[in-house]
Chain A
């Protein structure tokens, strides 16, 4: 794949929205330590084995950084104790998604000492084999901090030929979320060193760090750190125009490289790999400092919060603890969102423990979310077509799904929808379009599953029918053979004679 021009200029992506930013209110104070709540419930993450083997017995004392679950393979993320204290074993907590489900967590009652196990840096990582680096990151429990929590090792290792460029995503692009901006502001060196670690691990010779043009001094600070740490000039800091959803992986790739990820492929097919800036900083901590991933920055903000800000929270900290640190809720708060206002998830309650993907807790008041009219029929205004970054036809997708014609929706490329919410935001009829798309995708997945099951059942049934027919035929053949034998006259005579002999012998 051609990589000429990458890093020299920017491209555009279709659609998108320029949204009002509300970052400043959370950026007025430096990132603060969130401290230790009464109990931590560390989620094991959606990529873990459902029933992993515990490395520690419940009731034992654990130290910070001690592994509680091992990583079996690249797709299974190791979980480490995020402070020292008494390990309590499994608990269940409400999961953010899907609504109404529970997630398995590991509970620790902190003892307040916060003792760590000895650091395990990877010596001479600049000369380490990429495979060894990936192994180390895997053992340190690295997974994506941008939101999807994809295991970092699985993204880095693979048989893709010629990964030439590592892209670090520092474009949050959702209004309100500020955790990545605060990270880049407070630890620019960590981001640059993390970029070098990840680039070595994946074999990329160039790094592009995409940040928003509205991030103030971030570009300057990164550039200063880069000048000091990157003598080979392999890292480039690229300011992109703040248009939502520019922080989406596929959109950022399009803006930075002018290329589109194939609809049935991955960025790696283009020689690219994309990580969040916070993941890079965590990779640096794991390799250079030798610290496993046990904390992340969380933005707690919104008009429903008294003193918004950013906190460095241990994995497993309940959301309510962070809200408490932020001065608590304002009285008129009605909605608590995990993530940003465009694509975040409305939580049922604030018990949710912080996991690797918890970037923002956004508390909204009725004024922000109140609907001014009920849902009206689609008037085909086409505003959704103009803002769709995937160049779909959202109103036709909606009509197909509403009419139950899911196959039609599939042929309109429903599965290329990234659920960014732009269409729903601009819809004058206030149709919850993203909910329809999710429903359509779920129905199609279920339908596919049913079809696979039905096909399997049919194959089994046909195999059984064949087997029964074969057995029947074999029985028939045996009987036929026997009948033929008996039909021969002397044969029958001698058999009768033999039977009489047997009976007589028995009587004696």
Chain B
């Protein structure tokens, strides 16, 4: 007797990966760095992540509903949460709650859903969010806490909550005492005042090779990123291109003028370069499609970041570098197509 079966296209085995699985691995890879952030700068980061996630999920759900899409399906891919966490990691720990709300409004509603939702956004949503808030609220975004070693006392859970939601610190903690300019801020203003880098670096906020605390958070980002490469969630191209370009560009300048140019490790281990290299510039949707294109994209991000750090109006330029490179993606893709099998034969190679 003939038996009937379902018909479907090949392949006929379980797919190797899921979008939600990839996003979850990105979140796992961020856990060590978040823990380090908490250790060095207090529990503020947890509030920022919580706030950003809450607003992101809220906006995502609202936009999915408005666009007539399945809300549960849209939320189950975790992409909004990843955007929120990456955005939150760029915020000062005590930033007021409406920073997260504004950022996610721009990141999720404008950058993502107004461009067509998951897979269609031209610009990195987390970086659109960050660019929006740093342009709109430069003061709030520059109020960084001093790392644990330099702080008279990191605010606890309750004080942190009060600071974020009411904007006031308890009298025991004085803003001037707990806050501190970031290493990149100091470098910018110091170099502008014609002070020597070595002199600027004598400030205790600098660590062994980058910023105190920052350098270890950056290490944990790198470890998480390497794990993502090992798990094939991201490819090595963008991180390698970003970091190698930074070293290649800053090394000769530093060798020629160590007094006015920061060293390569200083560049890499302060600010957002490492998280950007492994987690933000590797955003697949708004990045280059080809493997060579990913290299070009990473090189561009590093070049623009260093240019902004040296000449620009902001201490760090990673967000703007990524957004600028997003604009070039169609062009990069067009000129970095791989050679298809059988098109233009490779030169005959002699075996041996």
A binds B: yes
Looking at chain A, what size class is its interface with the partner chain? 35 or more
A416 and B351 in contact, given A334-B5, A368-B12 (Cβ under 8 angstroms)? no
Q: How far is the CA of A385 from the CA of B337 in the complex (A)?
A: 10
Looking at chain B, what size class is its interface with the partner chain? 35 or more
Digit string of A1-15 for contact with B (CB within 8 Å is 1, else 0)? 110111011000000
> Which chain A positions have C-beta within 8 A of B10?
337, 341-346, 421, 424, 434
> Which chain B positions have C-beta within 8 A of A434?
9-11
**One of B4, B291, B351 near A9 (C-beta < 8 A):** B351
Q: How far is the CA of A254 from the CA of B346 in the complex (A)?
A: 11
Inter-chain contact B342/A377, CB cutoff 8 Å:
no
> Which chain A positions have C-beta within 8 A of B79?
379
Cβ of B73 within 8 Å of any chain A Cβ, yes or no, is yes
Cβ of B194 within 8 Å of any chain A Cβ, yes or no, is no
A425 and B11 in contact, given A391-B338, A413-B340 (Cβ under 8 angstroms)? yes
Q: How far is the CA of A273 from the CA of B6 in the complex (A)?
A: 38
Q: How far is the CA of A263 from the CA of B343 in the complex (A)?
A: 6
> Which chain B positions have C-beta within 8 A of A175?
13
A396 and B333 in contact, given A342-B10, A346-B5, A424-B11 (Cβ under 8 angstroms)? yes
Interface residues of A in 332-357 (CB under 8 A from B): 333-337, 341-351
**One of B6, B73, B340, B350 near A334 (C-beta < 8 A):** B6
**Looking at B5, B76, B333, B349, which has the most chain A CB atoms within 10 Å of its CB?**
B5
Cβ of B254 within 8 Å of any chain A Cβ, yes or no, is no
Cβ of A404 within 8 Å of any chain B Cβ, yes or no, is no
**Looking at A5, A347, A372, A393, which has the most chain B CB atoms within 10 Å of its CB?**
A393
**One of B2, B289, B342, B349 near A396 (C-beta < 8 A):** B289
> Which chain A positions have C-beta within 8 A of B294?
382
Inter-chain contact B345/A335, CB cutoff 8 Å:
no
Inter-chain contact B352/A335, CB cutoff 8 Å:
no
> Which chain B positions have C-beta within 8 A of A382?
235, 284, 289-291, 294
Cβ of A55 within 8 Å of any chain B Cβ, yes or no, is no
A348 and B342 in contact, given A380-B284, A383-B232 (Cβ under 8 angstroms)? no
> Which chain B positions have C-beta within 8 A of A427?
15, 17
Distance in angstroms from A6 CB to nearest chain B CB is 7
Q: How far is the CA of A8 from the CA of B350 in the complex (A)?
A: 11
Distance in angstroms from A102 CB to nearest chain B CB is 14
> Which chain B positions have C-beta within 8 A of A258?
349, 351
Q: How far is the CA of A13 from the CA of B119 in the complex (A)?
A: 30
> Which chain A positions have C-beta within 8 A of B346?
259-260
Digit string of B325-352 for contact with A (CB within 8 Å is 1, else 0)? 0000000010001111111011011111
Q: How far is the CA of A385 from the CA of B285 in the complex (A)?
A: 14
Distance in angstroms from A438 CB to nearest chain B CB is 8
Of the listed stretches B18-26, B98-106, B176-184, chain A binds B18-26
**One of A261, A320, A368, A379 near B284 (C-beta < 8 A):** A379
Closest residue of chain B to A378 (Cβ to Cβ) is B119
**One of A259, A336, A345 near B345 (C-beta < 8 A):** A259
> Which chain B positions have C-beta within 8 A of A393?
289-290, 333, 337-338
Cβ of B32 within 8 Å of any chain A Cβ, yes or no, is no
Inter-chain contact A428/B12, CB cutoff 8 Å:
no
Interface residues of B in 17-39 (CB under 8 A from A): 17-22
A390 and B9 in contact, given A385-B291, A430-B18 (Cβ under 8 angstroms)? no
Q: How far is the CA of A505 from the CA of B343 in the complex (A)?
A: 87
Cβ of A389 within 8 Å of any chain B Cβ, yes or no, is yes
Closest residue of chain A to B5 (Cβ to Cβ) is A336
> Which chain B positions have C-beta within 8 A of A9?
351-352
Inter-chain contact A428/B5, CB cutoff 8 Å:
no
Q: How far is the CA of A348 from the CA of B8 in the complex (A)?
A: 9
Cβ of A362 within 8 Å of any chain B Cβ, yes or no, is yes
Cβ of B77 within 8 Å of any chain A Cβ, yes or no, is yes
Inter-chain contact B12/A4, CB cutoff 8 Å:
no
Q: How far is the CA of A347 from the CA of B16 in the complex (A)?
A: 23
Distance in angstroms from A148 CB to nearest chain B CB is 16
Inter-chain contact A6/B7, CB cutoff 8 Å:
no
**One of B9, B20, B118, B289 near A432 (C-beta < 8 A):** B9
Q: How far is the CA of A373 from the CA of B7 in the complex (A)?
A: 18
> Which chain B positions have C-beta within 8 A of A395?
289
Cβ of A369 within 8 Å of any chain B Cβ, yes or no, is yes
A341 and B338 in contact, given A258-B351, A329-B3, A379-B19 (Cβ under 8 angstroms)? no
> Which chain B positions have C-beta within 8 A of A362?
12
Distance in angstroms from B61 CB to nearest chain A CB is 17
Q: How far is the CA of A335 from the CA of B76 in the complex (A)?
A: 28
Inter-chain contact B351/A6, CB cutoff 8 Å:
yes
> Which chain A positions have C-beta within 8 A of B337?
393, 412
> Which chain B positions have C-beta within 8 A of A391?
338-341
> Which chain A positions have C-beta within 8 A of B287?
380
**One of A373, A416, A421 near B18 (C-beta < 8 A):** A373
Distance in angstroms from A221 CB to nearest chain B CB is 27
**One of B9, B17, B21, B351 near A383 (C-beta < 8 A):** B17
> Which chain A positions have C-beta within 8 A of B18?
372-373, 428, 430
Cβ of B175 within 8 Å of any chain A Cβ, yes or no, is no
Inter-chain contact B351/A426, CB cutoff 8 Å:
no
Cβ of A488 within 8 Å of any chain B Cβ, yes or no, is no
Inter-chain contact B351/A346, CB cutoff 8 Å:
no
Interface residues of B in 47-68 (CB under 8 A from A): none
**Looking at B7, B12, B343, B351, which has the most chain A CB atoms within 10 Å of its CB?**
B12
A428 and B17 in contact, given A5-B351, A364-B12, A382-B284 (Cβ under 8 angstroms)? yes
> Which chain B positions have C-beta within 8 A of A1?
348
Residues of B with Cβ closer than 8 Å to A? 1-22, 73, 76-77, 79, 117-120, 232, 235, 284-285, 287, 289-291, 294, 333, 337-343, 345-346, 348-352
In the assembled complex, 14 residue pairs joining A and B whose CB atoms fall closer than 8 Å, in A order, are A5-B350, A320-B3, A342-B11, A368-B13, A369-B13, A377-B117, A379-B284, A385-B338, A396-B289, A412-B337, A416-B340, A428-B19, A428-B22, A429-B19
Q: Shortest 7 CB-CB distances between A and B: which pairs?
A: A5-B351, A377-B119, A263-B342, A428-B17, A435-B9, A381-B284, A390-B341
